[in-house]
Structure 1
Amino acid sequence: MSSFSKEIKLIAVWLSAIIVFLTALFLVNQVYQIYHLALGVNETFGRVVLVALIAISAGILLVPVFLFLRLPQTLTPPKEEDQVPKHKRRVFQRIRKNKLLIAEGLVPASEDQLEVSLTRLNEEADKIIKQTALSVFLTTSISQNGRLDAFTILFTHSRMVWKICHLYHQRPGLRDLAHLYANIGATTFLVSEIEDLDISLQLESLLSGVTKSTSFSSIPVVGPTATLVMDSLFEGSTNAFLTLRVGIIARQYCSCVTTWDSKKARKNATLEAGKMLSQIVTQGSTKVVGGILKAAKNAGFQSIKSGGQAIVKAGTKITEGVSSAARKVNPFGKRKSEAREMDQ
């Protein structure tokens, strides 16, 4: 294990210990207060309540641990070609116990049918990824609080990865979690080393198309409201893209039956996330703009009027903003971004 992975593991252990300690203090405090109130009614009643609360608290703490330990350990994808048949056989044996596949009658009878079963699980994983990305898009578009958004996204990404691992009926080991969550943390805080492609062009064409669409251009936005819309869609689109990318990497890792190439996985995830983002932005932008317009109207804005031109201009600014943010992620796009800022 690399020194970086060891550091991540150590940090995770300490954070977990702190969370467990604080949770225990909170539970003890709540149990004591309820017991004290029950004791005021009757001593016997107070003891019964105390025993019941201890049992409930123990169940709340132990049940998740029990469910986690029941899941089998993650099957780590091989790095050498000669290890692929053995890994594929282990995946086949594991996937035959998958509850979703059993319920839908898609349990593979042989290794030749493994691809069909994995395709079905991948479809379900995509639903989780898209739902999470839409949630992040809406949340960060409205919030626009940098520090709060960073921790919110980190928690949301971690929860999404856990759901995907659970879907494939796996219990990720500490090393696997360290690898995945290191990528999540880097993605959340826009560390440049995780980006291998210039994503700015993809986001530019996508957002330009969305803002010029018939349904979007019919929304009346002008003046200060257009600026607010621009900032909101900029934040939401970028964070949704990063969420999609993290989810796709986790899905690829859990469903891999060939040799694992981290660089190739990141590139494929970036391309696939760009394709998924169009649906997320189109679905969420109407809600975001509608909420902003309602808030602006309630605040007494009188300058809002119908006009597709204004939203197209806002869309252009969004494109430039996302391009700038994307190039912060990818250092190869830095010079072009700086040249554009000088022209403005």
Structure 2
Amino acid sequence: MAKAIPAPAGPPVKKEPQHWELASQWVQGWRVVKWSVSAVAVIACLMVIGQGYLFYRLFDDVHPLLGYAYILLLTAGLALLVVRPMISFLSMPVAARPPDLAIDAKAPQPEALAARIRYDIRYLQMLAANPLTKDERPAIAQGIAEARGLLARTGPATPPQALALSAELEVFERTRIETLLAPLDKRANSIIHAEAVGVGAATAVSMNGTLDAFIVLWRNANLVARISRLYFGRPHLMGSLRILRDVAAIVVAARALEDVSEITGDIIGGLLGHMGGLIAGPVMDGGINAMMTLKLGYLAKRRCRSFKGWSAGQAAAISEGALQEVKAESGPVIADLLKRLGGLTSHAARAAERAMAGSRSAWGLVQSWFGGSKPAGS
């Protein structure tokens, strides 16, 4: 009896990956929420700009030519103060994008080290093209040569050699790149601080919410453009759009928080009197705008600096780091804001004193008319 020849085994059956419907729906829902919030922010920003054009009717009622002149002046102002900084920002070269990889400190992979070193070379080349670092170009050239030497050693590296190379790479980035970035970081922090104080002071003095929104839009767009010029680079397209979206969102938040600051000013005014509310409301409004400008500035700095990665997994940590910087800088910013507004508060306090002194004098005059006088010692 002939033996049955076994049939050849077919290819292994691949198991379908486990699909979690609830997790998938959550991811899709969160994506919709993020895009919806971005769209609402941009639309609301455009509505804030549109409010400026509503004043056209006030001038048109006086004379049609005056209305047309207002429209032309407003459009020219927007183009000069808002559109020009945004175009300047988008005209900056795209910065070297950090590789989205993690280097294991205990067992680094040579491929990951090579990718990071290649990025360091591109970043140093970007620094060499920066007009603000032209005095450091010999040091940058030496750093590029040293990085290429490290790159040549990654190919045949054994695990112990890769571990030693990882330590050398960490020292290289700290001494060759972070050292070059320190002066730029200091200038960026100074610019962000000054802009935050300027936005806070301008919106505290202004008594119109729409004007506040224009001030915030102008100063924040200009701030982002200045930071990108400082580092001579901007993020890739999506990162740039996110920064512009943040600018729009901060304008909307500044406009929406106007009512909050007015309510808070009214509460403080009830506790301290009418002049207290008059002072506290604008100061709080300016302080809120200053803090939002501060956070936007630090986020723009992180993205235009671009030496650390900006992946989806790192976004939360980077946002938290920017928030910590805001907390650390909030005290000096508010102190400088109060110094800047010292004239406003002192004038208001002197006006209150004059009003109270005038009311006492008037009451004494009325008493003298009717022969009234206070008993001695009262």
Q: Name the TM-score class by shorter chain.
A: 0.5 to 0.7
Shift of 1:67: 7.6
Alignment of 1:1-344 (within 5 A): 4=35, 71-81=92-102, 82=112, 83-103=115-135, 107-108=139-140, 109-110=142-143, 112=172, 113-170=176-233, 174-190=237-253, 223-260=273-310, 261-294=314-347, 297=350, 301-303=354-356
How many residues are matched? 224
The 8 Å contact of residues 141 and 233 in structure 1, kept in 2 or not, is answered as yes
Q: CA RMSD in A?
A: 3.6
The 8 Å contact of residues 225 and 292 in structure 1, kept in 2 or not, is answered as no
Amino acid at match of 2:229: H
Cα distance change on mapping 1:132 and 1:107 into 2, 3 Å:
farther
5+ unaligned residues in a row in structure 2: which ranges?
Answer: 1-30, 47-83, 103-111, 148-171, 255-271, 358-378
Amino acid at match of 2:190: K
SS in 2 for 1:75: coil
Cα distance change on mapping 1:223 and 1:107 into 2, 3 Å:
farther
Amino acid at match of 1:78: P
**What is the distance in 1 between the residues matched to 2:135 and 2:331?**
32
Amino acid at match of 1:127: S
Bigger radius of gyration among the two: 2
Shift of 1:161: 0.7
Amino acid at match of 2:275: T
5+ unaligned residues in a row in structure 1: which ranges?
Answer: 16-62, 192-221, 305-344
**What is the distance in 2 between the residues matched to 1:285 and 1:268?**
26
The 8 Å contact of residues 153 and 188 in structure 1, kept in 2 or not, is answered as yes
Q: In percent, how many aligned pairs have the same letter? A: 25
**What is the distance in 2 between the residues matched to 1:85 and 1:66?**
32
**What is the distance in 2 between the residues matched to 1:100 and 1:143?**
36
Shift of 1:96: 1.7
Amino acid at match of 1:257: F
Shift of 1:174: 4.1
TM-score normalised to structure 1 length = 0.55
